[in-house]
Chains A and B, each alone.
Chain A
């Protein structure tokens, strides 16, 4: 069977005015559906770069990214956007919620270009918010929520289109360890529910939850344990 996600010799060079730095230097990797992979490595190792390339948020300088058999580099910008919406849920360290929208509205954002009725959208959002433990806080603005709660909103937003892959870049990086544990519990639950999870983390304890651990060093895979 073809692997669910496959990277072939992926390199990423940043900067095009003479000085260019290689963030990834020929990474090849296969990830199967239903894995919970944790990506570690020191700062600057290329973890975020790898994750954004996997999420179709940027294209590599060279190499191929295949997901569900689709070559992401072959997609137009709009097809790539559709692919992100349908297949991938991305969770950022800094949440990246829209500050002027309530929790419910933030969760509804990915649905706003769609023609679905407003009520349907709202009830879907409320269901997701309750599944991440935020019942009763639907009307709060991000500024009225704690960091952990904001990250829960961001996770609910990532789940709107029921993606098969969740990509999370240090989702607990801004949270205290107790709050971080609760967020990781959420991811474990999502993994058990069948999602493929790829998470960049510094959290050692997180390795226990994962089915796979990948360590990057200087733009290369230094260690890969299944």
Chain B
């Protein structure tokens, strides 16, 4: 028998005691890991949700007078029809170095054209991208699903006096009104929105693109780099980050991260204290045994190494299981907190095990030193 075996036997044959100590560490570390993982997952979820919310980069032709807003474009439709961007540019954008950061690249094509006798701006976009590019849109009726269908902005619908199921004619073609857009407060309230192919054919511009809206994933927000890369890929285009969007996302995520860190720190302090106190208690309890070991000739170092082996084993096993259960609990709890696709967060688990071990060993020192400072007689008398 050696010190290590002695430690192991003490743990193994006094299971309930070891389990009690382990439970303190398990709960302390488990709670910390669960909370820290959960906040990490929630932070990721907040980020993902924000990323899903519209575009943060706009690609327009450099040659256009860019002081033109949508309103001005409406007045100068022919100008837009001669846009220098084309469908080929989409490939270039999707080919940049950071292409895996691009969540969506959506082409828009705008033109002014007749709509049942009124000159309105037609906005063309791929119907499949409505949910991506305009997730906030709500319709009475349905979004346009196929060629030959349109959605009317609320003001356009009022001006034309049309609703879902009606028709709009333009240049000899008839379009079915699939739905009416609820008021958005934006220019599109006055527009006719249709599939990009339909709007292009009205303008006679089969590959034209007025602008691209690019949604870049905002983790660490390398938007400036992405802007630069798209600019290099499309020398003729003007590429700009929509600063307001980028900054407000950053602020929201930062705020959430601070909250998560704060909560984790508090839980860590409580959990750490729990580990420290249970380990201290379990060593204190053994003062008498320490006295006996000293009486039979154990040096203080031998006592310390015995106790370190013991608390080392308990801390390792219980903080590892606490961390595993913590990660699992965070995964299970994640849906309750609005995290849809929870990914296991391993950093808090590794940190938790390290802290459990460190505090377990640290908690051994004060009572072990106290016990070793007593004479064997005093230690044996203590109860």
- CB neighbours (8 Å) of B375 from chain A are 57-59
A58 touches B6 (CB 8 A): no
Q: With A100-B10, A111-B1 as given contacts, are A85 and B300 in contact (CB-CB < 8 Å)?
A: no
Please tell me which one of the listed residues B2, B9, B295 contacts residue A84 in the complex, with CB atoms under 8 A apart.
B295
Please tell me which one of the listed residues B10, B13, B297, B376 contacts residue A110 in the complex, with CB atoms under 8 A apart.
B297
Binary contact track A101-141/B, C-beta < 8 Å → 1, others 0 = 10001001111110000100110000000000000000000
B9 touches A81 (CB 8 A): no
Decide yes or no whether A82 CB sits under 8 A from chain B.
Answer: yes
Decide yes or no whether A212 CB sits under 8 A from chain B.
Answer: no
B2 touches A157 (CB 8 A): no
Query: Could you say which of B10, B292, B378 has the most chain A C-beta atoms within 10 Å of its C-beta?
Result: B292
B10 touches A112 (CB 8 A): no
Q: With A57-B375, A109-B1, A111-B1 as given contacts, are A100 and B9 in contact (CB-CB < 8 Å)?
A: yes
Q: State which residues 172-198 of A face B: CB under 8 Å.
A: none
A100 touches B14 (CB 8 A): yes
CA distance A52 to B375 in the complex (A): 10
Q: With A82-B299, A86-B297, A98-B292 as given contacts, are A118 and B1 in contact (CB-CB < 8 Å)?
A: yes
Please tell me which one of the listed residues A90, A96, A113 contacts residue B298 in the complex, with CB atoms under 8 A apart.
A113
Binary contact track B271-308/A, C-beta < 8 Å → 1, others 0 = 00000000000000000010011111111111000000
- CB neighbours (8 Å) of B293 from chain A are 109
- CB neighbours (8 Å) of B151 from chain A are none
- CB neighbours (8 Å) of A84 from chain B are 295-297
Binary contact track B300-340/A, C-beta < 8 Å → 1, others 0 = 11100000000000000000000000000000000000000
Q: State which residues 40-89 of A face B: CB under 8 Å.
A: 52, 55, 57-59, 77-78, 81-82, 84-86
Q: With A52-B377, A100-B9 as given contacts, are A109 and B296 in contact (CB-CB < 8 Å)?
A: yes
A157 touches B296 (CB 8 A): yes
CA distance A118 to B300 in the complex (A): 22
CA distance A82 to B296 in the complex (A): 9
Decide yes or no whether A161 CB sits under 8 A from chain B.
Answer: yes
Query: Could you say which of B3, B6, B302, B378 has the most chain A C-beta atoms within 10 Å of its C-beta?
Result: B6
Shortest Cβ distance from B5 into chain A, in angstroms?
Answer: 7
- CB neighbours (8 Å) of B292 from chain A are 96, 98
Total contacting residues, chain A, CB less than 8 A: 32
Please tell me which one of the listed residues B289, B295, B299 contacts residue A113 in the complex, with CB atoms under 8 A apart.
B299
CA distance A82 to B297 in the complex (A): 6
- CB neighbours (8 Å) of A90 from chain B are 295-296
Q: With A81-B294, A85-B296 as given contacts, are A101 and B5 in contact (CB-CB < 8 Å)?
A: no
- CB neighbours (8 Å) of A52 from chain B are 376-377
Decide yes or no whether B380 CB sits under 8 A from chain A.
Answer: yes
- CB neighbours (8 Å) of B302 from chain A are 112-113
Please tell me which one of the listed residues B1, B10, B299, B378 contacts residue A81 in the complex, with CB atoms under 8 A apart.
B299
B297 touches A121 (CB 8 A): no
Q: State which residues 1-58 of B face A: CB under 8 Å.
A: 1-3, 5-6, 9-10, 13-14
- CB neighbours (8 Å) of B376 from chain A are 52, 57-58
CA distance A60 to B23 in the complex (A): 43
CA distance A122 to B1 in the complex (A): 8
B296 touches A105 (CB 8 A): no
B7 and chain A: residue at smallest CB distance: A112
Shortest Cβ distance from B378 into chain A, in angstroms?
Answer: 7
B6 touches A81 (CB 8 A): no
A121 touches B289 (CB 8 A): no
Shortest Cβ distance from B33 into chain A, in angstroms?
Answer: 31
Q: With A105-B1, A113-B3 as given contacts, are A58 and B296 in contact (CB-CB < 8 Å)?
A: no
A97 and chain B: residue at smallest CB distance: B292
B1 touches A108 (CB 8 A): yes
Q: Show the binding face of B for A, using Cβ within 8 Å.
A: 1-3, 5-6, 9-10, 13-14, 289, 292-302, 372, 375-378, 380
Some 12 contacts from A to B, beta carbons below 8 A apart, are A58-B378, A84-B297, A85-B297, A86-B297, A90-B295, A98-B10, A100-B10, A101-B6, A105-B1, A105-B9, A109-B296, A122-B1
Going nearest first, the 7 A-B pairs with the smallest beta carbon separation are: A85-B297, A100-B13, A58-B375, A110-B296, A113-B302, A108-B1, A58-B377
In addition to A84-B296, A92-B380, A113-B299, 8 A-B residue pairs with Cβ atoms within 8 Å of each other are A57-B376, A78-B300, A78-B301, A90-B296, A98-B289, A109-B6, A110-B298, A118-B2
